[in-house]
């Protein structure tokens, strides 16, 4: 398959109950590259709630999607991911909790995030030679969000505002929802997803992802954190 962009994710293990539910909730299995039926939850239009994040699959971004720089190849990126992962240790988190990020819902870490943030920073900086520079149109579009000076610096240097000191690990579960709808969606996720979440949560690998021409992201390979 030919990919238009690449990214580094934390992708939950495909065989765990919480990730199975999460993939179905979003309606896209990035591991197998296929659509999934949404869970039937009374009075919720899960398809509409998850329309925006669906194509990305259940994940947390460590290095944001990028086009390959001139002269770089997928094979070279794969080799660099393997080298990076071999130098990094698994990350242990206390767990995850459901959080509001503005009007989005996501899973956020519980407890100390120092090692997690260091892993994400390594992905951003050590693989940046593979990233094609953002176009002026892309930069202008990002800036319409009203970035802070540190975020604008990150955008110029790393192609994305929310990296390094501005990074917040999160697993997106919804698009931007009207405020009155948030409590019902939170209740549904608290009932169906939260009891399945692992504690502690161990991040054991990096997932190299590719974006297909239709916009959906597919797992290319997992690289064990073995440092």
Which pLDDT tens digit goes with each residue over 52-76?
A: 999 999 999 999 999 999 999 999 9
Q: What is the pLDDT of residue 227?
A: 86
Write the DSSP string, 68-104. Answer: BPTT--HHHHHHHHHHHHHTS--EEESEEEEEEETTE
Structure tokens given for 106 = 């996501």
Report how far residue 209's alpha carbon sits from residue 147's, in angstroms, rounded to the nearest whole number.
27
Beta strands in the chain (DSSP E): 5-10, 28-29, 34-35, 60-66, 91-93, 95-101, 104-110, 171-172, 201-203, 205-211, 217-224
Structural domains in the chain?
Answer: 5-221 (3.90.1140.10)
State the pTM of this model.
0.96
DSSP 37: P
Residues in a beta bridge with 101:
104
Which pLDDT tens digit goes with each residue over 77-110?
A: 999 999 999 999 999 999 999 999 999 999 999 9
Q: What is the pLDDT of residue 145?
A: 83
């Amino acid at each position: 398959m030919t990919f238009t962009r690449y990214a580094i994710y934390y992708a939950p293990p495909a065989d765990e109950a919480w990730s199975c539910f999460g993939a179905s909730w979003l309606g896209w299995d990035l591991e197998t590259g296929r659509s999934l039926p949404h869970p039937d939850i009374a009075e919720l239009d899960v398809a509409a709630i998850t329309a925006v994040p669906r194509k990305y699959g259940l994940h947390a971004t460590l290095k944001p999607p990028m086009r390959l720089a001139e002269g770089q190849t997928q094979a070279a990126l794969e080799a660099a991911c393997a080298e990076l992962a071999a130098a990094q240790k698994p990350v242990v988190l206390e767990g995850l909790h459901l959080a509001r990020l503005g009007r989005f819902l996501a899973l956020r870490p519980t407890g100390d995030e120092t090692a997690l943030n260091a892993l994400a920073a390594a992905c951003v900086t050590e693989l940046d030679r593979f990233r094609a520079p953002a176009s002026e149109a892309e930069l202008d579009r990002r800036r319409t969000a009203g970035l802070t000076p540190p975020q604008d610096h990150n955008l110029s240097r790393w192609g994305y505002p929310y990296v390094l000191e501005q990074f917040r690990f999160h697993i997106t579960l919804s698009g931007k929802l009207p405020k009155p709808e948030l409590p019902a969606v939170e209740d549904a996720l608290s009932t169906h997803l939260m009891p399945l979440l692992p504690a502690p949560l161990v991040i054991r690998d990096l997932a190299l992802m590719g974006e297909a021409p239709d916009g959906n992201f597919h797992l290319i390979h997992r690289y064990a954190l073995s440092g």
